[in-house]
Chain A
Amino acid sequence: MSGEEDPAGREAELRSYHLGTLSAERQEEIDDRFLADDAVHAELQAAADDLIHAYLAGQLPAGDRARFESHFLLSRRHRDRFAFVRTLVTAVGRVGNERAAGAAPPRARASRWTTWLPWAAVLVVGLAAGGWSTGERRRLERERDAARDRVSRLEHTLAEQSRHVEEQQAGTQVSKDVGPVATWTVRPGLQRGSTTDPFELRSEWVLLRIPLADQLRAPSYRLSLQTSGGNEIQSSRSLPTASGTNERTVDMMVRASLLPPASYMVLILSDDAEAQEIEAAAFVVRRD
């Protein structure tokens, strides 16, 4: 399985293998080859790393990006590797940046956005190296902004993906793709979905959307979904805020199977070690 004659074709095929879009026969052929040959196994692992990098760099078309999130990241090893490649690209950007700036000693800390935007760090290398035209600089800045948006969506997707897999590992319903999602807006301080107006489960997933008061300006929050008796059902950390038409919200995806008919609370907590409660909202669920 050499990529010498047509490296782009080979890469595309291995990428399709990891995205699960090859024919079953071809998929099995590649299985046979890598199970028998360490070199093919290593080639597939390298292809997975390159696929992760392509995703981080925003190079995947929409269909592949969706498959990456719904199929590729189901694998725990792929998720671990994702975290590694993300860190690697950031570190490479940092080292390359220092090299370009001619500074030998490493910086003590990276700026916040280069810390969690590896592809943006690569762009910084380009910007710092100088010699860019204004147009090129603007293009790179636009790419960097788009990358920021991607990482925000990605963090959310990863959190959901990871939890989805953890649910599977814990023995919940099998599903390779996230099904339809219902959005429930639950306002702090109010009992939405009260006994006279309860929420009804009609979907596989529920997106709990919590509008935030104006004074709440933290970049991220932790949400704790609890039973009315105070038992935690699900906790999601590092949740970014999202801006809608009129208000900012923080969202948490919950599998519907975790929400049998009952009363629930959502606590909005500070996203730090202390996890102090900031707000709370309550809602009621009934089966359709």
Chain B
Amino acid sequence: MTSSTRWSLTEDAFERLLERLGPDREAAGERYEALRARLVDYFDWKGVLRPDAACDETLDRVARRLEEGEAIQRVEAYVHGVARYVLLESLRQQTREQQDSASVPLELIAQTKGDEEVRIECLTRCLQELAAADRELIIGYYEGAGDVHLSGRKRLATRLGISYATLKTRAHRLRNRLDACLRGCLEESDR
């Protein structure tokens, strides 16, 4: 992945990419962010160690092609194709780097354990700030011990008058809200 050193994203190229994602700039911006989030997860889940860099490389290449005037019919499909190439290149490059060097390991996940009580306090507060119905949903989602969650969640969905898939979607959105709330709370407690 060396092309980014020869060409870097210009404002014009970025604008051109946004234009291709949607006629309305705000909506195009949202589509860009969503596309970026999917790409980062794609690279991360495939074992790329620097998924953000791989994502940037992918989008830079697409923007460059657009700037060069390449006729691209479906830009998102084109992005996926480029992402596959970048994935292969990234994994190859990782293998080369890993064969060449040895290094001392860094942080351990267990080190976060010392802060766990602060995290729990923050998240408890975040839960209590939710609307009652949302709080009940997320508590109900995690209620029960042992292998009872699937049946329990189906019952919860029935009780709430929603489908099981909708329950899962709502629980996921609530988790994301709580995750954002937790991060905000931890930042505050760091000040």
Contacts and interface: CB of A to CB of B under 8 A. Distances in A.
Interface string A1-29: 01110011001000000100000000000
B116 A87 contact: yes
B103 A171 contact: yes
Nearest to A165: B49
Nearest to B170: A46
Interface stretch (B1-9, B11-19, B62-70, B118-126): B118-126
Contacts of B121: 106
A162 B107 contact: yes
**Residue from the set A125, A172, A173 with the largest chain B CB neighbour count within 10 Å:** A172
Given A42-B172, A174-B98, A57 B120 contact: no
Contacts of A99: 139
B41 A41 contact: yes
Interface stretch (A153-161, A181-189, A205-213, A276-284): A153-161
Contacts of B106: 163, 166, 170
Nearest to B95: A174
B108 interface: yes
A126 B145 contact: yes
User: Chain A interface secondary structure, helix, strand, loop or mixed?
Assistant: helix
Contacts of A262: none
Question: Which of the four size classes fits the interface of chain B?
Answer: 35 or more
Contacts of A49: 172, 175
B164 A158 contact: no
A158 B117 contact: no
A7 to B, nearest CB: 5
Contacts of A116: 113, 116
A255 B102 CA distance: 10
B73 interface: no
B22 to A, nearest CB: 14
Question: Which of the four size classes fits the interface of chain A?
Answer: 35 or more
Nearest to B172: A46
B120 A34 contact: no
Contacts of B127: 91-92, 95
Contact of B169 (A42, A162, A163, A236): A42
Contacts of B83: 35
A83 B123 CA distance: 12
Interface string B36-79: 01111110110101110000000000000000000000001101
A90 interface: yes
Interface string A115-131: 11001001101100000
Given A75-B45, A84-B179, A168-B94, A233 B104 contact: yes
A236 to B, nearest CB: 6
A167 interface: yes
Contacts of B147: 57, 59
Contacts of B138: 92
A163 B105 contact: yes
A248 interface: no
14 contacts: A35-B79, A53-B142, A54-B149, A87-B116, A90-B120, A92-B127, A99-B139, A109-B117, A155-B113, A162-B107, A162-B109, A169-B50, A238-B108, A257-B102
Give the 6 A-B residue pairs with the shortest CB-CB distance, closest first. A170-B103, A46-B172, A91-B123, A162-B109, A238-B110, A163-B105
Given A115-B116, A158-B109, 18 more contacts: A3-B165, A32-B80, A34-B38, A36-B76, A46-B171, A46-B175, A75-B45, A78-B45, A79-B109, A87-B119, A93-B142, A95-B139, A106-B125, A162-B110, A168-B94, A234-B104, A237-B108, A257-B102
